[in-house]
A = this chain, B = another copy of it.
Amino acid sequence: MKDILILTKDHKAYRALIAAELPEVNIFTEPMDECEIVLGAPSMIAKELSNLPNLKWVQSTWAGVEPLLDPSLRHDYILTNARGVFGGLMSEFVFGYLLAHERKIFELTQAQQRKEWKHFLTGTLRGKTIGLLGVGSIGAEVARTAKFFNMTIRGYTRSSEDCEFVDEYFHVGELLKFANGLDYLVSILPNTKETRKIVDAELLSALPPHCVFINIGRGSAVDESALVEALESDKLAGAVLDVFEQEPLPQEHPFWTTKNLQMTFHTSAPSFPEDIAKVFVENYRLHVEGKPLKYQVDFERGY
């Protein structure tokens, strides 16, 4: 009989979903010494690590796991995240904004408010070029969707080149070549020392002025002042930011009112318990059988 600790605001939903699939387990919502398995939000788990002497495995309900990467915390357990389930959701987010841009959805709404019948010339995604900063499981799903809409796809990665939907790969040292001519730039980068402020003034100035930048990775990948400058001076057509250096965004931050900037308050990948519980159950069964778990996080690499 296994004990499982659930540490998330949605613990009731998770309890029901997991009990239905794994009737043999005991589910707790308060730490106990004997507990080896934890499912939950990294921010809540980080606070309880010292109360879990027998911890063997943590399944994060998030894709990002920053709170657990803190070097002052123990890293003597297996950490798995939920990146496998966010690809489709984040892809819907990205293409919602790409299509809104091409089809001038906001301009059309404003014309309606003015009661102005107006024949806007709208665009199409077909034939446009999208650049992905980071091509992991989420980037691969964005690439697959871009290919469905007949776009050209560039991928910027450290090393991997295994996504069949990416037309051309770029690596360290080729960032400006990667940026040249992009219609859309999407960052899906995690927060690591290699990705810090990779979207800087130099990269932004290599993008065409009609390009739109979307950040669904981590805010640390962006030089926020350089982005404000690029948008305010029309060197970039727009930005959609789901993530920020500091969240919630401080009230005095220029982003709130920066020209052509849209904010989405870290909502690009809602965690649906139905999805995450499936990942947990799958990994639980692997764990019981002593097999390697899926979606393991490398504490050193940070993702």
Which A residues form the contact surface with B (CB < 8 A)? 88-89, 92-93, 95-97, 99-100, 102-103, 105-106, 108-109, 111-112, 115, 117-122, 124-126, 145, 148-150, 247-249, 251, 256, 262-267, 270, 272
* Minimum C-beta distance from A114 to chain B (A): 10
Q: Within the assembled complex, what's the spacing in Å between the Cα atoms of A247 and B117? A: 9
Cβ-defined contact, A119 with B266, below 8 A: yes
Cβ-defined contact, A103 with B96, below 8 A: yes
Contacts of A109 in B (CB 8 A): 106, 262
Contact of A251 among B115, B125, B149 (CB under 8 A): B115
Contacts of A88 in B (CB 8 A): 124, 126, 150
Most chain B CB within 10 A, of A92, A118, A119, is at: A92
Cβ-defined contact, B148 with A148, below 8 A: yes
**Contacts A97-B105, A115-B251, A256-B115 given; does A92 touch B149 at CB 8 Å:** yes
Contact of A99 among B96, B150, B262 (CB under 8 A): B96
The 9 sampled A-B contact pairs (Cβ below 8 Å) are A88-B124, A88-B150, A92-B124, A92-B125, A100-B105, A108-B263, A108-B264, A108-B267, A115-B251
Contact of A265 among B95, B117, B145, B251 (CB under 8 A): B117
* Minimum C-beta distance from A112 to chain B (A): 5
* Minimum C-beta distance from A130 to chain B (A): 14
Q: Within the assembled complex, what's the spacing in Å between the Cα atoms of A148 and B102? A: 20
Q: Within the assembled complex, what's the spacing in Å between the Cα atoms of A126 and B120? A: 30
Can you list the 5 inter-chain pairs with the closest CB atoms, starting with the nearest? A96-B99, A117-B248, A96-B103, A112-B263, A115-B256
* Minimum C-beta distance from A72 to chain B (A): 28
